Chains A and B, each alone.
Chain A
């Protein structure tokens, strides 16, 4: 484990210790996994093993929980996470098209990360921004009232910003 990862692990252990001191400690498993994902960006197998050890919960159970909930990533994600809202309002207003455009533009399927590790494409259930459908969320920012052209523009803007940053 790298030094950076060890630092993160220390933060996680602290969080687990706090939870473990509470009543019904094992009920904080999901909160612990949230914390782990916040720190590592996804849930690496090794981290789940450590959580199992610290909370005295079988890894199999943790694996079961982690795979049950959509929110948890089991693979490393790209620098930017694109969530395409597939809620009903967005669907009615053409979300599938937006998704198709993104798949072609990025050359990935849902749940995959681009080769340059810049983007991960995900589906979201509903981002609750139905008033400005169709929407996508990139990291924490919502882009609304999209069409195919605007979507590609958004992606290119980010690519450009990233490219400029590297120069």
Chain B
């Protein structure tokens, strides 16, 4: 017997029966017989689906394609096109109230998704990202068609402005305004750039969004091209994301084939094409002027603004740069309306934000929530709290540009202003949960090590200042901290923030300053008592075998570096010069015979 390839569900509720669903059933069976598909397609009758107004309703799985108002005459087309050729019949698909609904129709009953609202990620997990037909069947490129057919460029910009959308890359500049500035410039060439240089460690929103739904990014960019009068788009993406690049390449090729990219987009007199450029591993290239230099083939170093890229950008032409998530929001805004979009979120921050939830939390992964959701809701309701019975210590948002917020800020609402007020930033969406096992001084050092390494070296405060901060933090974690070090860090940090050229330097001290502000006592313990309460700073830590040792050899076997010596049934010994203080012996010992101090 052949495997079932498709599962059809036909609504058998009263209203649909009224609308002749029984006749449809017979017609379906007949049509399946005709194509010899009876073995590979199964038909199920369901109770009322509750969408009676659109009846009779037919659902095709996999794919959860829902056809409404199906007539007997439509059956041959559905069977021939969808079941034989695997092309959904777009004209019959029920148009959802809002685009994000479909995701929840399929996955909504899982706890993890309960408080989420997926606008940017609406298609991730729902469609096959390598199949343009899948995207088309969920109203893909309809927003573009709408813009080209019935809206002037000014109207498109007005709609984006009305939505209140702000840049999702981190700074939160109003998107509509940015579009307007670029549109107003007169030039022979203009460019649209998608910033997919997701360099923030601990963040993978852009990667996942592109891997799951590359077409929505393309659609957003094409719409912007129309709105500002650009003919060329460039996606600047990290070379470290091979799958995302491959999917984008496929999506661009498919869009060209369908007349969505290239000359005369969708038969209009507007032409637009998109090219991919690879980054090469430089965090600073997320800064827009540095990114432009990188595309031009130079070292990715920022320059002072103004002039802003909207006036003088790539190759000296007016350029519109937005982040992946911003682009993914555009089609929804055009289809569901800027007014609707602005009803989601808070007073100053509209819509949803995607976060990469990671670190010491049960459910790690991508979450998209309406602005205004609290940190507690994300970490505990969606994230499921802290594993292994440990205590929450801090949440880090905004990556190397952001800060660490302790428990008292858990009820902070997520929006650009509230997070800034609490001492962190929205950033691009990294959210790392930290428990009691992490040393805050060590974490601050980790971030400053990152930024000082990624500093492009152009301006002195950032190049030299972050290095000095790193040195001070290093000596503190090595147990050589001096009184006055905390004040030195604060003074240096403020100075670097005020005097650096670009966003990297201006925000680099944030992780240090915010940990000093919220966890000052840990810094003091390190300096004055030479103590690391998290037991993480190896220099202040040693493992020794105590009298309880029975010589079972468990520690000797697990030690990855052979630092444990001893014969069976005799007390073992840890060689301090070999020991890397990984703590595995401590964890494996059943006799409490290893002392950590």
Point out residues on A near B: beta carbons under 8 Å: 24, 26-31, 33-34, 57, 61, 64-65, 68-72, 86-89, 91-93, 97, 100-101, 104-105, 124-133, 140, 147-149, 151-152
Residues of A within 8 A of B356 (CB): 130
Interface extent on B, as a size class? 35 or more
A140 to B300, CA, bound (A): 26
Q: List 18 A-B contacts (CB under 8 A).
A: A24-B315, A29-B297, A30-B278, A71-B281, A88-B359, A88-B430, A92-B434, A100-B582, A101-B582, A104-B561, A104-B580, A125-B201, A126-B202, A126-B204, A131-B358, A147-B584, A149-B558, A152-B560
Interchain nearest-CB distance for A32 vs B (Å): 9
A-B pairs with beta carbons under 8 A, tally:
137
B509 at the interface (CB under 8 A from A): no
Q: CB distance B299 to A28 under 8 Å?
A: no
CB-CB contacts below 8 Å: B351-400 with A: 356, 358-360, 364-365, 396, 399
Q: Given A130-B364, A148-B584, A152-B560, does the pair A125, B283 have CB atoms closer than 8 Å? A: yes
Q: CB distance A97 to B580 under 8 Å?
A: yes
Residues of B within 8 A of A30 (CB): 277-280, 294, 297
Q: CB distance A70 to B202 under 8 Å?
A: no
Q: 1/0 per residue B263-295: CB within 8 Å of A?
A: 000000000000001111111000000000011
Q: Given A101-B582, A126-B200, A128-B240, does the pair A70, B282 have CB atoms closer than 8 Å? A: yes
Q: CB distance A88 to B201 under 8 Å?
A: yes
Residues of B within 8 A of A27 (CB): 295-297, 315
A30 to B560, CA, bound (A): 40
B548 at the interface (CB under 8 A from A): no
Q: 1/0 per residue B429-472: CB within 8 Å of A?
A: 01010100010000100110010000010000000000000000
Q: CB distance B438 to A92 under 8 Å?
A: yes
Which single member of A33, A57, A100, A130 contacts B358 (CB below 8 Å)?
A: A130
Which single member of B204, B295, B299, B360 contacts A128 (CB below 8 Å)?
A: B204
Most chain-B CB neighbours within 10 Å: which of A29, A69, A126?
A: A126
Q: CB distance B561 to A65 under 8 Å?
A: no
Which single member of A34, A61, A64, A149 contacts B584 (CB below 8 Å)?
A: A149
Interchain nearest-CB distance for A128 vs B (Å): 4
A68 to B240, CA, bound (A): 16
A133 to B432, CA, bound (A): 11
Q: CB distance A33 to B280 under 8 Å?
A: yes
Q: CB distance A72 to B202 under 8 Å?
A: no
A28 to B239, CA, bound (A): 14
Which single member of B280, B438, B456 contacts A34 (CB below 8 Å)?
A: B280
B125 at the interface (CB under 8 A from A): no
B569 at the interface (CB under 8 A from A): no
Point out residues on B near A: beta carbons under 8 Å: 198-204, 207-208, 239-242, 277-283, 294-300, 315, 356, 358-360, 364-365, 396, 399, 430, 432, 434, 438, 443, 446-447, 450, 456, 558, 560-561, 580, 582-584
A34 to B315, CA, bound (A): 21
Q: Given A24-B315, A88-B396, A148-B560, does the pair A140, B280 have CB atoms closer than 8 Å? A: no
Q: CB distance A129 to B204 under 8 Å?
A: yes
Most chain-A CB neighbours within 10 Å: which of B241, B282, B299, B438?
A: B299
Besides A65-B297, A88-B399, A126-B202, 4 other A-B contacts (C-beta < 8 A): A28-B297, A34-B278, A70-B282, A105-B560
Q: CB distance B582 to A148 under 8 Å?
A: yes
Which single member of B201, B299, B364 contacts A86 (CB below 8 Å)?
A: B201
Residues of A within 8 A of B204 (CB): 126, 128-130
Residues of A within 8 A of B438 (CB): 92
Interchain nearest-CB distance for B297 vs A (Å): 4
Residues of A within 8 A of B207 (CB): 128
Residues of A within 8 A of B359 (CB): 88-89, 92-93, 130, 133
Which single member of B203, B396, B580 contacts A101 (CB below 8 Å)?
A: B580
A49 to B360, CA, bound (A): 48
Look across to chain B and name the residue whose beta carbon is closest to the beta carbon of A24: B315
Interchain nearest-CB distance for B397 vs A (Å): 11
A104 to B365, CA, bound (A): 32
Residues of B within 8 A of A93 (CB): 359-360
Interchain nearest-CB distance for A52 vs B (Å): 13
Interchain nearest-CB distance for A155 vs B (Å): 11
A118 to B283, CA, bound (A): 29
Q: CB distance A91 to B446 under 8 Å?
A: yes
Residues of A within 8 A of B561 (CB): 101, 104-105
Residues of A within 8 A of B277 (CB): 30-31
Interchain nearest-CB distance for B475 vs A (Å): 18
Residues of B within 8 A of A152 (CB): 560
A31 to B596, CA, bound (A): 51
A91 to B560, CA, bound (A): 19
Look across to chain B and name the residue whose beta carbon is closest to the beta carbon of A101: B560
Residues of B within 8 A of A127 (CB): 240
Q: Given A31-B278, A149-B558, does the pair A24, B240 have CB atoms closer than 8 Å? A: no
Look across to chain A and name the residue whose beta carbon is closest to the beta carbon of B189: A23
A132 to B356, CA, bound (A): 12
Residues of A within 8 A of B315 (CB): 24, 27
Residues of A within 8 A of B242 (CB): 140
A65 to B293, CA, bound (A): 11
Residues of B within 8 A of A100 (CB): 580, 582
Q: Given A101-B582, A130-B202, does the pair A89, B239 have CB atoms closer than 8 Å? A: no
Q: CB distance B202 to A88 under 8 Å?
A: yes
